[in-house]
Amino acid sequence: MSNVRYTEDHEWIRLEGDTAVVGISQYAQEQLGDVVYVELPEVGRKVEKGKEMAVVESVKAASEVYAPISGEVVAANAALTAEPAKVNADPMGDGWFVKLKIANKAELDKLMDEGAYKKFVEGLH
Amino acid sequence: MENSADLKRTPLHALHRELGAKMVPFAGYEMPVQYPAGILAEHQHTRKAAGLFDVSHMGQMRLSGGDTVAALERLVPGDIAGLAPMRQRYTQFTDDDAGILDDLMVANGGDHLALVVNAACKEQDAEHLRTYLPPEVKLERFEDRGLLALQGPAAAAVLAKLAPEVAAMKFMSVANATLAGIPCTLTRSGYTGEDGYEISVPGDAAEKLARRLLEDPAVKPIGLGARDSLRLEAGLCLYGHDIDRSTTPVEADLVWSIGKRRREQGRFPGAAKIVDQIANGPTRKRVGILPDGRAPIREGTELQDASGRQIGKITSGGFGPSFGGPIAMGYVEMAQAAPGTALSAILRGTPQPVKVAPLPFVKTNYHRG
């Protein structure tokens, strides 16, 4: 079973022990188009579920990325500063945004699993 | 959200769909914002080869009968009398307060003047013309015609395969030519900073011509997204953003488009204010804005001087793919308008260092002959 969960704002979160890796979904990167800039939070910053955590900018527009759960930023993907196009090329892998120390694991249960997210995205068309 | 059923379609609508375009509402039309290649690739392709743009949503009009030149000069500050046959010129419709109602291209077709106006303004422009043109001057609209732009360094060679004579056209000239058996009117101009053409084509033949041009390996379809990033790098104004009724042609740094004779004689809407601003300087001016960092600075962003006082704002901004970084344009007070002036842009609440920069951001490549 996949340990990846999704939000209705198209962030994904993958559990890795006590931390979680966060990024934006394949659907999100397709909708954004070519990513030209990513603004990431500083390590140590406390983020709150549903609140702005990062900014991703395409040629056309800036979009906010929200924290899927509350927690503390323990790592940010500095490679995106030099190569923001990684978000398009590999949104679920090299294009990750931050790693969070999870404040409350129960918050993950409220997020969509792969199947539910797939249905959610299909419903948007 | 606009219902796509209420949106108008250009003659190339089916072709855009077939090419996999992402369609968006724009100025009352359903238009391609990008194709599967994406905005960055489309932008780069236009700068290195040739891009085909559907700009059929723009308003094509014609004035004929009577003294069309005098009639149009009563509405624009451009020197229309000085426009030689088969030449084209950029000007603006101004209001009595020197605000810009729209910007447009005017071509001297010999026995008529051909206008190309912005899609979002074309109904009000037609109404404005009908209100002020004398009865003997006839206004015709060509809403069923297509308008294609072929832009980029390969554009001339591509078109010359269909009509060798168009390669000799100079920047801002006009010619009639038969392309793939279709009678077209071409201008050697565009909205990308590159050499290229705009081609007015009968609506029922527009798709045939577009398909023929796309057969050339140098040509790829380009959407509105790249059209915007190309014109921003070229320092060209977008109506409704960089210019509108609240800005004058002088503030917009478009004085070059106002004929010397027109400045001396006046007799166009807002002439007194425009002449005064040329003589004494406006209080603010449109300039290039170059962010020091990597974050794009977008339309509406406030600009502050070193003391934290607001001295202007961004009117267009984003990422310049050929420039290789964020670029913007905006209005600043005259005291802050010199290139190199350090300012702050307030991005998401945080001041970001930016500098006033000369326009264009990317060298233009017009065919001046």
ipTM: 0.88
Instruction: Give the CATH number of the domain where residue A46 resides.
Output: 2.40.50.100
Whether B67 maps to a domain, the answer reads no
> Cβ of A64 under 8 Å from any chain B Cβ?
no
Q: Bridge partners of B316?
A: B329
Q: How many domains does chain A have?
A: 1
Whether A121 maps to a domain, the answer reads no
Whether B113 maps to a domain, the answer reads no
Range of the domain at A48: 4-101
Cβ of A57 and B319 within 8 Å?
yes
Q: How many domains does chain B have?
A: 2
The answer to pTM > 0.90 is yes
Whether B94 maps to a domain, the answer reads no
Contact (CB, 8 A) for B71 and B63: yes
pLDDT digits (tens, 9 = 90+) for A20-58: 999 999 999 999 999 999 999 999 999 999 999 999 999
Helix (H, G, I), strand (E, B) or coil at B178: strand
Whether A112 maps to a domain, the answer reads no
Instruction: Give the CATH number of the domain where residue B11 resides.
Output: 3.30.1360.120
Cβ of A81 and B294 within 8 Å?
yes
- Cα–Cα distances (Å) from B174 to A99, B169, B179, B200, B303, in that order, read 59, 8, 15, 11, 41
- pLDDT-based confidence at residue A18 (cuts at 50, 70, 90): confident
pLDDT digits (tens, 9 = 90+) for A75-120: 999 999 999 999 999 999 999 999 999 989 899 999 999 999 999 9
Most A CBs within 10 A among B40, B232, B241, B352, hence the mutation to make, goes to B40
Distance CA B288, CA B305 (A): 15
| Chain B: closest CA distance from residue A107 (Å) | 28
pLDDT digits (tens, 9 = 90+) for B317-348: 999 999 999 999 999 999 999 999 999 999 99
Domain end marker among B233, B258, B275: B233
| Chain A: closest CA distance from residue B158 (Å) | 28
SS (H, E, C) chain A: CCCEEECCCCEEEEEECCEEEEEECHHHHHHHCCEEEEECCCCCCEECCCCEEEEEEECCCEEEEECCCCEEEEEECCHHHHCCCHHHHCCCCCCCCEEEEECCCHHHHCCECHHHHHHHHHCCC
Q: Are residues B185 and B287 in the same domain?
A: no
- pLDDT-based confidence at residue A1 (cuts at 50, 70, 90): very low
Domain end marker among B193, B215, B233: B233
> Cβ of B348 under 8 Å from any chain A Cβ?
yes
Question: Which residues in chain B have Cβ-Cβ distances shorter than 8 Å to A83?
Answer: none
Q: What is the pLDDT at residue B4?
A: 67
Under-70 pLDDT residues of chain B = 1-4
